[in-house]
Structure 1
Amino acid sequence: MAEGPDDTVFEDCQFLTGSPQRFAVLAQLRERPARPTDLCDTVDATRTTIQRILAGCSERQWVVKRDGEYRLTVTGQRVLDQYTALMSEVERARAVGPLAAHLGSIAADLPAELLDPDCLTTSSEQNPLAAIDRFTDWLHEVDGDVRAISPIVTSVFNDVAVDLLETGTHIEFVIDHSVLERSASDFSDALERGVEHENIDTYVHDTPLDIGLALDRSRVCLAAYDDRNNVRAIAESDAKAVYNWAETVFDRYRARSQPLESVLSVQENKQ
């Protein structure tokens, strides 16, 4: 088993993370050297607390006192920078958690741009349909042909597909066997359209799908579903790196899929 940091390092980390005032003191000293009385004016802490924080930072050689003022050392600056980066990453993780928790196998090579909270729409108890509503809006806004992967079938998505086909949009669509079964039982018209319409090519993946993905001419929309196939979050991007990644993902899923007509033919022969 790999060895981790020794106890002293953990204690130093615990010291820094023990209160927001400790970070605030270091952040103020990054701006300029200061006396304890100066820090009392800018940090929400008593003079006694400030003195204790400075003593702890001095012990760890993150700050030094010169001419009555405390200032950051080089190592103190580095510790502060890394801690600031860690807090930013934790904040990002909290925001992107609803997406990250439901990505399945594609999470390993997910582009960093899709982990930007500004690209994200998440559902919540207050607005459980936020993600699916935004996904639907995204589909209504498509420019050019569409390639899509979906582990669910809904009347909303079927209605969007009808609208797109009426405008001459070509759709390549990857589904799984559970979507095919539900389409056969509940959406027979949509299933028939998937076979007969000249502008849609539907493929059935050989294993259950666990993501939703859509690409148009230049944009990508990634949807994450929970265990009940509810859309929990979507991420949107028009970054070139994301688009290239999404094309690779779509091609990989399509390569493991069979044309809908072939799958239906096999099913009919078995009956």
Structure 2
Amino acid sequence: MTQQDITASPIVDIAYLARSEHRIPTLLSLTERPRSRSELCELGGVSSSTMRRTLDEFDDRLWIRKEGYQYVATRLGEVIASGMEDLIERIETERKLRHVWHWLPDEISDFPFETWSDMTITVAEPDAPYRPVRRFESLLRNTTTIRFLRPEVALMDLCFDLLYQMVGEDVEMTLIDRPECHTYFHTTYPRRSSEMMQQDNFVILEHDDLPQYGTGLLDRCVVVSCYEEDSGTVYALIDTDAPAVREWAKSAYDTYRASARPVELEPSTE
């Protein structure tokens, strides 16, 4: 390397790697095992001349060495490859979160990055507006207990048939929501709602001062539902099995559960 190379900003090397999509995967592949240039061309989808220039640049930086007709990453190359892989993972996680960040509980911003990366984020799209609800429905099918703080009509209405079935199958279910949400289900599905309320495993409570998001505790995961304030639709659903999130969700649920009150609805029939 020249003196100019040594004193240049690290951004120069980062920019070099990022300018072509094949460079980082190529370096990563060379940390796994030695590979020939033809194999690297196939993996990267580039021509032999392009790969030759890439390998020459890697060699100039001491990131690789040649073993016979193959190339393999040096220890320096392994460090750079690992760092770039971590950076890509962080950016991928940030891109998932940026569109729902302002809907999330403030506590989530205090969790470590590893907790964020474990989250599954399902966002409604113009051509798939019910995607978050369908994700929630799939999670419901694998649980024997449901404790939900502010489930909201938009999330639960499309799942009502499944919820009714689950109550009949003795799934333990406690829902804490706004009074008007319980009224909606009682008036829209009067017979089945009355049947559910008569079951010992089904408890509905109401609260007048709930957070703007929903928090549900299932057997295997925690779900956080994000609602659009104007329309009330479910914009996104986040689910995770991270212990830190579960601890936070349980604490929040228990706090509101302690101050919630029983629902009193008039009996009715369909």
What TM-score does the superposition give when structure 1 sets the normalisation length? 0.65
Partner of 1:152: 152
Query: What is the CA RMSD across the aligned residues, in angstroms?
Result: 4.3
* Partner Cα separation in structure 1 for residue 226 and residue 8 of structure 2: 41
Unaligned regions of 5+ residues in structure 2, if any? 1-6, 266-270
One-letter amino acid matched to 1:46: S
* Partner Cα separation in structure 2 for residue 32 and residue 45 of structure 1: 20
User: What is the correspondence of 1:1-271 to structure 2 with a 5 Å cutoff?
Assistant: 8-33=9-34, 39-40=40-41, 43-64=44-65, 70-94=71-95, 102-108=103-109, 112=114, 115-116=117-118, 121-136=122-137, 138-139=139-140, 142-144=143-145, 146-150=146-150, 152-154=152-154, 155-156=157-158, 171-175=173-177, 179-181=178-180, 186=184, 189=187, 199-206=202-209, 208-216=210-218, 218-227=219-228, 228-236=231-239, 243-255=246-258, 257-259=259-261
* Partner Cα separation in structure 2 for residue 215 and residue 65 of structure 1: 54
Does the 8 Å CA contact 1:210/1:224 hold for their aligned counterparts? Answer: no
Unaligned regions of 5+ residues in structure 1, if any? 1-5, 265-271
% same residue: 23
What is the count of residue pairs matched by the alignment?
247
What TM-score does the superposition give when structure 2 sets the normalisation length? 0.66
Does the 8 Å CA contact 1:219/1:243 hold for their aligned counterparts? Answer: no
Does the 8 Å CA contact 1:22/1:53 hold for their aligned counterparts? Answer: yes
* Partner Cα separation in structure 1 for residue 91 and residue 103 of structure 2: 18
C-alpha displacement of 1:237: 5.3
C-alpha displacement of 1:201: 4.5
Does the 8 Å CA contact 1:131/1:234 hold for their aligned counterparts? Answer: yes
C-alpha displacement of 1:23: 2.1
* Partner Cα separation in structure 1 for residue 31 and residue 164 of structure 2: 59
Does the 8 Å CA contact 2:124/2:130 hold for their aligned counterparts? Answer: yes
- CA gap 1:57/1:205 in 2 versus in 1, 3 angstroms: farther
SS of the residue 1:20 aligns to: coil
One-letter amino acid matched to 1:248: S
* Partner Cα separation in structure 2 for residue 157 and residue 165 of structure 1: 12
Does the 8 Å CA contact 2:176/2:260 hold for their aligned counterparts? Answer: no
Bigger CA drift: 78-87 or 61-70?
Answer: 61-70
Partner of 2:4: none
